[in-house]
Amino acid sequence: MTKMIATRDAYGEALIEIGKDNENVVVLDADLSKSTKTHGFGQEFPNRFINVGIAEQNLIGTAAGLAAAGKIPFASTFAMFATGRAFEVIRNSVGYPKLNVKICATHSGITVGEDGASHQALEDISCMRTIPNMTVIVPADGVETKAAIHAISKMEGPVYVRLGRLAVPTINDEASYEFKIGKGVTLKEGTDVTIIATGLMVSEALEAAKELETKGINARVINIHTIKPLDNEIVIKAAKETGAIVTAEEHNIIGGLGSAVAEVISESYPVLLKRVGTKDTFGESGKPADLMKKYELTKDNIIDAVVDVVKKKQ
Amino acid sequence: MGKSIQELKQIANDIRKDIIEMLAESGSGHPGGSLSATDILTVLYFNEMNVDPNNSKWEDRDRFVLSKGHAAPVLYATLAKKGFFPKEELMKLRKIDAMLQGHPDMKGTPGVDMSTGSLGQGFSASCGMAMAAKIDKKDYRVYTLLGDGELQEGLVWEAAMLAAHYKLDNLTAIIDYNGLQIDGKTDEVLSVNPVTDKFKAFGWNVMEMDGHSIEEIIESIAKAKEIKDAPTVIVAKTIKGKGVSFMEDKAEWHGNAPKEDQKVQALKELGGEI
């Protein structure tokens, strides 16, 4: 059976690992440390853990000051408040001076569930990728999360990491998985169409591809964990070799992965594209699985989109 | 270090002249709040702070964050005078391809410790720097200058809570209290008073000084260093546009550059060569 783990849990574990490796790592949280899983780091390294209280602007501003003084701050809260409430602080105090701040936000997307629309960040990828100097990473599972956190701790510059609340299937093998910032991963070869997915939609994409085989459609599956800088090469190659693309993300179809892919292919090699994601709408309260279905974020929605573009391609 | 009061006064006057000249040359920028903060920056850079103009990123240096980033001209003129970069740069302020941006850019300008311009954010960053010194057990100090109008930003109070909670006694904030903001008198736009009581209630050590008395500035900053377990805020009573009669205490000189005849008049008052 597939192991289920939330990316936020993997984040919490990774923080302790990098905290042991590098004493410059400092973790900040805004009163959500038990939910974002930074709590463990706080217990392990109390003198390198700063709870700023319910004050997200100051969370980022303080992190910027720590980075300016040579520390490697990891700042965490929910994605909504990190990228929404503190947007302009991120832009002016982190992005503009290119400071080494790692914003690792949890509870992104509609799978926040019962807390409802006010807490479901569906525009955070869009907000973060529009800031110059910002790297944007959306891990698909726990293994990728850990690898990403280790990688960004060694890289100089601002990063946004989008993490989730919900336990998701582990699709990568911890022993063999290699993570490279900015490099997409081909999880399954295919010739008829390419599904480009990110975050928890990667496992949905794999399921969809499996089912599509039974319908006679041979779909390639690419995991784009780094939305910015985007792996243009892998996207253009997919456009050329398969002639149609479906993107899948737990995010508004405006401004996220779908938009990023559209930008690249429309300038380099236009092919048919269909975007699976939320359709410029707010979410609502409910169980994550029910919300995924209602807001058309399941493998079935990917399948429908694939069937549609493949038909149009012919 | 080791400069006489008279020498410091002379330096402040020279900086004021540079501010007028660079703003007249650029045709835009903020003279009012630059001139009100000139004596404070003079004391910080020429009497107090441990910095090395030849090694601007020296990790044990004292830090200064101009949270009221629009007063960039006074910071630039002070840094140039201190030797962080050639004075010629001042005359390129706000021009395309120039090093000196409209608001401070730490990546482009030697001696600028934090990029600022959006109010409240510099104060927040200065707390982060002071926390870093605590974590690293280093004894450098962090200074930050805020405007009184800036206190209307919510982020200022988030940061104020943090600094007191974490007992950042290595942080000294100075409020350039000139009583004016773009739209008029601070008291009329949105009163920030009582400022001293507010900071006291937030757990800060609070002091007041005449922000144009070199002696008082020296003394207050020295006293702040003696305080343990609490950050210090010094409310500096200042006059916007200080030193240039027609600019003094006038909100309209917040963000207007002097024209040629006004420059000549201002330099004359400051004893500049014409």
Residue A1: which pLDDT band, with cuts at 50, 70 and 90? low
User: For residues A116 and A175, is the Cβ–Cβ distance under 8 A?
Assistant: no
* B97-143 pLDDT per residue, tens: 999 999 999 999 999 999 999 999 999 999 999 999 999 999 999 99
Cα gap A134→B158, rounded to integer Å: 25
CA distance B184 to chain A (A): 26
Domain B5-270: give its CATH superfamily.
Thiamin diphosphate (ThDP)-binding fold, Pyr/PP domains (3.40.50.970)
Cα gap A287→B274, rounded to integer Å: 76
Domain ranges of chain B: 5-270
Across the interface, of A57, A69, A71, the residue whose CB is closest to B158 is A57
The first and second tokens of residue B234, run together, are 């010094």
Total CB pairs under 8 A between chain A and B: 108
* A15-60 pLDDT per residue, tens: 999 999 999 999 999 999 999 999 999 999 999 999 999 999 999 9
Q: Which residues of B touch A89 (CB under 8 A)?
A: 118, 121, 124, 155
Q: Which residues of A touch B118 (CB under 8 A)?
A: 88-89, 92-93
* A206-241 pLDDT per residue, tens: 999 999 999 999 999 999 999 999 999 999 999 999
Across the interface, of A53, A65, A70, the residue whose CB is closest to B161 is A53
Cβ–Cβ below 8 Å for B128 and A57: no
Cα gap B57→B45, rounded to integer Å: 15
* Nearest to B265, CA basis, from B256, B257, B253, B274: B274
Cβ–Cβ below 8 Å for B129 and A26: no
* A244-254 pLDDT per residue, tens: 999 999 999 99
State the pLDDT at residue B272. 59
Does residue A290 surpass a pLDDT of 90?
yes
State the pLDDT at residue B273. 52
* B203-243 pLDDT per residue, tens: 999 999 999 999 999 999 999 999 999 999 999 999 999 99
* A141-179 pLDDT per residue, tens: 999 999 999 999 999 999 999 999 999 999 999 999 999
Residue B1: which pLDDT band, with cuts at 50, 70 and 90? low
Q: Which amino acid is at B58?
A: W
Cβ–Cβ below 8 Å for B158 and A53: yes
Interface residue ranges in chain A relative to chain B, Cβ cutoff 8 Å: 26, 47-48, 50, 52-53, 55, 57-58, 60-71, 73, 88-89, 92-93, 96-98
Across the interface, of A50, A65, A71, the residue whose CB is closest to B126 is A65
State the pLDDT at residue B203. 98
Question: What do you get for the CA distance between the two ends of chain B, in Å?
Answer: 31
Does residue B183 surpass a pLDDT of 90?
yes
Question: What do you get for the CA distance between the two ends of chain A, in Å?
Answer: 38
Residue B14's contacts (CB-CB under 8 Å, 6 or more residues apart) are B81
State the pLDDT at residue A314. 83
Q: Which residues of A touch B120 (CB under 8 A)?
A: 57, 61
Cα gap B193→B177, rounded to integer Å: 11
* Nearest to A62, CA basis, from B171, B70, B176, B75: B171
Across the interface, of A65, A71, A73, the residue whose CB is closest to B124 is A65
Domains of chain A: 4-169 (3.40.50.970), 185-313 (3.40.50.920)
Residue B274: which pLDDT band, with cuts at 50, 70 and 90? very low
State the pLDDT at residue B139. 97
The first and second tokens of residue A307, run together, are 């069937």
Adjacent-strand bridge partners of A51: A29
The DSSP result for A278-289, as a single string, is E-S----SS-HH
State the pLDDT at residue A263. 98
In the residue annotation, A56 being an active-site residue is answered as yes
Helix (H, G, I), strand (E, B) or coil at B248: coil
Residue that is written with structure tokens 């070799």 in the block: A241
CA distance B125 to chain A (A): 4
State the pLDDT at residue B271. 87
**Range A119-140 average pLDDT:** 98
State the pLDDT at residue A113. 97
Cα gap B61→B141, rounded to integer Å: 8
State the pLDDT at residue B77. 98
The ipTM of this complex is 0.95
| Mutation target vs A (from B101, B115, B150, B165; most A CBs, 10 A cutoff) | B115
User: For residues A28 and A63, is the Cβ–Cβ distance under 8 A?
Assistant: yes
The DSSP result for A236-299, as a single string, is HHHHHHHSEEEEEEEEETTTSHHHHHHHHHHHH---EEEEEEE-S----SS-HHHHHHHTT-SH
Single pTM value for the model: 0.97
* B23-73 pLDDT per residue, tens: 999 999 999 999 999 999 999 999 999 999 999 999 999 999 999 999 999
The first and second tokens of residue A18, run together, are 């990098």
User: For residues B66 and B105, is the Cβ–Cβ distance under 8 A?
Assistant: no
Residue B180's contacts (CB-CB under 8 Å, 6 or more residues apart) are B32, B149, B186, B240, B249, B250, B251, B254
The first and second tokens of residue B192, run together, are 């920030």
Residue A266's contacts (CB-CB under 8 Å, 6 or more residues apart) are none
b/e B237-269 (16+ beta carbons within 10 angstroms → b): bbbbbbbbeebbeebebbebbbeeebbebbbeb
